[in-house]
Chains A and B, each alone.
Chain A
Amino acid sequence: MGRPKAAEPPAGTRLRLDGRAAARMAAGFAAGLALWFAFAAPYDQTVAAAAGFLIRTFESPAVTSLSAQSGEIRVDRSDFPPASPRPGLPAADLHFNFVLLVALFAFVPRPLEPARFLRFWIAAAGLWAIHVLALVFQVESVYATRLGAWSEAHYGSFASNLWAGGFHFYQIAGRFAAPFALWWLLVRPEIDPRRPRSEKR
């Protein structure tokens, strides 16, 4: 008979829920906010460029171009009438969850240890890919549902539901779940069943 499961040595990262972990998370939250505010503008540009490339790859003719300015992703099509307004999509809603990712990785003991820091960057790259995909869904949902007769002529009901539903899922659940899922996947937290020091008598 082996030892009970809970007493096995951890294969993932052992977490203890104590004051230190809470302080690390708070510091990570503050650091994430500072990074996000400092680098949001160049980050918008990389996400817009990659999403624009993806959209153009799968559209015929390739007419979409995305650009980032003043916290918005501007959607342009070369077949839009020159005088018509261009849709602007708020960029912060798309990628503020980077702050959550930093806070979650800071929650782990010794977050700046090279192996853990590398995992954070792998997760950040994964989150960037999710942001690019979410922007593709958002732009396609604008095309499919917000351009009146043009939308109806170019998108069937299945395509409209797919693009609009996909982006709505990201807005309601995906953008909050993505950092947690990436963190869980890369950290594989093993929650320490022992009482935190402050609870011990």
Chain B
Amino acid sequence: MKEKTTRASSNRRSAFFLLRFVALLVVFYVVIASRPVNDAVIVPFTAGVARVSAVILSGIGEKVSVAGTEIRSGAFAVNIENGCNGVEAALLFGSAVLAFPAPWRRRVLGLVAGFAAIQLLNLVRVVSLFWIGAHRPALFSASHTVLWQSAVVLFSVLLFLFWASREQRTQAAAAVGAHGPSEGR
């Protein structure tokens, strides 16, 4: 009987998480896809990603220039679009963190740290894809569509699971502290 109740409550928690996750994803999508937010936030942010990537590419010996969201060299040019600026992975991560039951302060800390980590990996992705496009063009399409997009999204899922496990640990420790050590056995 108790096991049935536990299973039902776990199913409910799981379903509520998924519903909140999907609802948040739709809301965030509507916000970032709206023209004012796209023009005032997403495009300048993407241009920033292009500039930082160009600095790194220059550091490794590539002669590149930047115009808006486009990075170009004599051999290759790439335009960073939505889907390649790390915002899509951040959207997934942010929706999962906000859908997960946790105190707001730790959610915000998780969001900030996760966003920074995703953007760091995305810089590696943009720089490596530009290098591949310039020096191994035959590998660009598969690297761009399948390898890197999947890797960045898997990374954001792993980040979420890591954050959620830490969160569970904190909650478990707090529960044991509140009920006394014998309650947790």
A residues apposed to B, CB below 8 Å = 1, 3-12, 15, 17, 22, 25, 29, 32-33, 36, 90, 92-93, 96-97, 99-100, 103-104, 165, 168-169, 171-173, 176-177, 180-181, 184-185, 188-195
Selected contact of B150 from candidates A96, A169, A171, CB within 8 Å: A96
Provide the bound-state CA to CA distance between A22 and B153, in Å. 15
In the complex, the answer to whether A173 meets B92 with C-beta atoms within 8 Å is yes
A192 touches B14 (CB 8 A): no
- B18 — which chain A residues lie within 8 A by C-beta? 181, 184-185
How distant is the Cα of A191 from the Cα of B102 in the complex, in angstroms? 14
Taking the complex as formed, is B172 at the interface, i.e. its CB lies under 8 A from any CB of chain A?
yes
Q: List 20 A-B contacts (CB under 8 A).
A: A4-B176, A4-B178, A5-B171, A6-B171, A7-B185, A8-B6, A17-B158, A25-B154, A36-B146, A92-B141, A100-B154, A172-B29, A172-B88, A172-B91, A173-B29, A173-B88, A173-B92, A176-B89, A176-B149, A194-B169
Contact, CB under 8 Å: A191 / B164: yes
| B169 touching A193, Cβ below 8 Å | yes
Report whether A193 and B172 are in contact in the complex, using a CB–CB cutoff of 8 Å: yes
In this complex, how many residues of chain B approach chain A with their Cβ under 8 Å: the count is 52
* Cβ contacts under 8 Å, A193 to chain B: 165, 168-169, 171-172
Among residues of B, the one whose C-beta sits closest to the C-beta of A33 is B146
A7 to B6, CA, bound (A): 11
Closest CB of chain B to A148's CB: distance in Å? 22
A6 to B185, CA, bound (A): 11
Measured CB to CB, the residues of B under 8 A from A are 3, 6-7, 9-11, 14, 17-18, 21-22, 25-26, 28-29, 32-33, 82-83, 87-89, 91-92, 95-96, 141, 145-147, 149-151, 153-154, 157-158, 161-162, 164-165, 168-169, 171-172, 175-176, 178-179, 183-185
In Å, the complex CA distance between A10 and B7 comes to: 8
Chain B residues with Cβ under 8 A from A9's Cβ? 3, 6
**Contacts A17-B165, A173-B91 given; does A99 touch B146 at CB 8 Å:** yes
What's the Cα separation between A170 and B157 when bound, in Å? 18
The 8 Å CB contact of B153, one of A15, A171, A176, A190, is A176
Report yes or no: A169 in contact with B29, Cβ–Cβ below 8 A.
Answer: yes
Most buried by A among B9, B88, B153, B179: B153
Closest chain-B Cβ to A103's Cβ sits at a distance in Å of: 6
Closest to A190 in B: B10
Q: Are A6 and B154 in contact (CB under 8 A)?
A: no
**In the complex the two chains form, what is the Cα distance from A14 to B22 in whole Å?**
23
Residues of A within 8 Å of B87, CB to CB, are 172
How near does chain A come to B185, taking the closest CB pair, in angstroms? Answer: 8
C-alpha gap A189/B154 in the complex (Å): 16
With A1-B183, A29-B150 known as contacts, the answer to whether A168 contacts B10 (CB < 8 A) is no
> Which chain A residues lie closer than 8 Å to B9 at the CB level?
11
A1-B183 Cα distance, complex, nearest whole Å = 9
4 A-B pairs with the lowest CB-CB distances in the bound complex, closest first:
A4-B175, A6-B172, A11-B10, A11-B7
Task: List 10 extra interface pairs beyond A17-B158, A100-B153, A173-B92, CB under 8 A.
Answer: A3-B179, A3-B183, A4-B183, A11-B7, A92-B146, A171-B83, A172-B29, A176-B89, A180-B92, A191-B164
